[in-house]
Amino acid sequence: MSKRPPSLVKAVASPQARRPFSFDRPLHAAIGRLTAGISPAALMQAYTDWAQHLLLSPDKQVELIEKALRKWMRYADYCIRACADPVCDLCIEPLPQDKRFAGEAWQSQPFTAIYQGFLLTQQWWHNATTGIGGVSKHHEEVVSFVTRQLLDVISPANFPLTNPEVLEATLKRGGGNFAQGAANFWEDWRRFVTGVPPVGAEAFRVGHDVAITPGKVIFRNRLIELIQYAPATDTVYGEPVLIVPAWIMKYYILDLSPENSLVRYLVEKGHSVFVVSWKNPTGEERDLGFEDYRRLGVMTALDAVSAIVPQRQVHGVGYCLGGTLFAIAAAAMARDGDERLRSLSLFAAQTDFTEAGELMLFIDEAQVSFVEDMMAEQGYLDTRQMAGAFQLLRSNDLIWSAMVQTYLMGERRPMIDLMAWNADATRMPFRMHSEYLRQLFLNNDLAENHYAVDGRPVSLRDIRVPVFAVSTIADHVAPWRSVYKIQMLTDADVTFVLSNGGHNAGIVSPPDHPNRHHQIATHKEDETYVDPDAWQQAAARHDGSWWPCWQDWLVRHSLDQVPPPAMGGRQNGDATLEDAPGSYVLEP
């Protein structure tokens, strides 16, 4: 095992102590509030690298000039053909994921010609920002991404005079769409500055409309509440299920409306279910580290479950960052001879961060240092800063198309439970988030066996219990090929699922959800490696949700059915603290 230089270990261990107080952090924090947390220095580095190498690449310059001329000729030819035949063949097709110009109104002139010119321009800038020798891969990706974001701002779909759908709505409603859009904008702005949830979220009150599966809070410490759900069957499977969600989200994404609740689904299938509800940190929790979340979160919850259901192994489940943490805890348990886990299920959880997708564009030394300075002032990463970064990854869907519909068309998208949950965001403690970014994203310590628990490195190869890993095809937070790497990192039987949908919608996938499908296959620990593309071609495809497949898998890895355990573990008397959903989930 290679050893990390002592100076680097020290820097990773205490990022908050990198330098004494100065003017840097207040300045960077002030800049961050204006740039939504994006480091100007990081962007400058990327664009300088790109510009310098482009300036010294005459062959690339000639290639770009030739491409520009060919595109203009192709566009001019299309415009001439369109004058005679308005429905002639397009000169460029939108990318499959680009739905901005899919409406019927966009297929009439001059609007087709307008968006065709925009797509050609967008394609040329992609050519201009990629394929330049000498530019670092990271800087190339940053420049290409930011340039695409800037071009998306001036998309013809975003302006009334060049968007035929907006023009149609204006004619039909006599301009009423703009009046309603202005009212929508004012209402959204008022709610934003006052911290009030978005319009429609009031229909999904926690504990009344969502998070209503019956249960009790049976344990509480400074970081978690542990919820035990009431049984819905006369007997239950002997091995309880302990779910650890990410603390970047509130736990009730797994207990939304009854028809969308994974918790309710498991309980009705005869499982004893426990869920960790994380406290929403404030500046007072600034010094809580990643190890605190493992020790006070996963391990403490596991101790409580083991006390309630003694002499039984536990099905461990982790979602997103909670899955990464549970994988670390499982590796440490295996190293130390702790055999309390029966299985490990990971939902949209990464354990290797070398292919973490476009989220890596926001993570390099310059950007991480900038974020640390922002967090140092308030002691946590603010919810709006995190939300902004995630929205940029899907700006067309989450920002521009929503703005066009709400403010130009004057129509609000109906609020659903998942959208209301998404608006109920949480914060990230300074120390924990800094360690997470540096140790996992920047250094990839976990996959490289450098991540230390109790002063000693852990290895995911020590995990021998069966693993069920779920990924989603459109996940922009944990790309499925990154999640897939769990098969290389463990010496366990891994059942891997690839579901349609995104990071959240693909996980909230009840059996009666329309248009759901998934692929599933099991890789035995003694079988040869299969790359993700070959896996995708060979894995069995099924229509419907992956929930039944997982529940069947849990049953196969359970021993027998027994009477339900007492709530809180006490047969006589009350060993509970309060009704679910508890207090922590209600904290703003």
Contact 295, 323 (CB under 8 A): no
Position of tokens 């900038």? 370
Helix (H, G, I), strand (E, B) or coil at 200: coil
Contact 64, 127 (CB under 8 A): yes
Distances (CA, A) of 509 to 200, 423, 516, 527: 22, 19, 7, 30
Phi and psi based region of residue 335 (left: phi greater than 0; alpha: psi -120 to 50; beta: remaining): alpha
Contact 188, 199 (CB under 8 A): yes
3-state secondary structure 406-432: HHHCCCCCCCCHHHHHHCCCCCEEHHH
Give helix 176-194 / helix 164-173 axis angle, nearest 10°.
110
Distances (CA, A) of 209 to 34, 202, 216, 247, 256: 37, 10, 17, 22, 8
Contact 564, 259 (CB under 8 A): no
**Dist. CA 177–CA 168, nearest whole Å:** 10
Distances (CA, A) of 24 to 8, 182, 365: 22, 40, 16
Distances (CA, A) of 249 to 8, 122, 301: 31, 35, 18
Element (H, E) at 277: strand 273-278
Element (H, E) at 495: strand 494-499
Rounded to the nearest angstrom, the gap between the alpha carbon of residue 377 and the centroid of all alpha carbons in its chain is: 26
**Is the torsion defined by CA of 569, 573, 578, 584 positive or negative?**
negative
Q: Choose among 480, 243, 257: nearest CA to 352.
A: 480
Strand partners, 45: none
Beta strands, E only, 154-246: 215-220, 224-229, 236-237, 241-244
Position of tokens 């603390």? 247
Name the catalytic one among 79, 88, 91, 320: 320
320 catalytic residue (yes or no): yes
Contact 441, 367 (CB under 8 A): no
Rounded to the nearest angstrom, the gap between the alpha carbon of residue 491 and the centroid of all alpha carbons in its chain is: 26
Position of tokens 């890789």? 523
Strand partners, 562: 236
* Residue 223: both structure tokens together: 């970081």
How does DSSP classify residue 569? G
**Dist. CA 284–CA 427, nearest whole Å:** 12
Catalytic residue set: 320
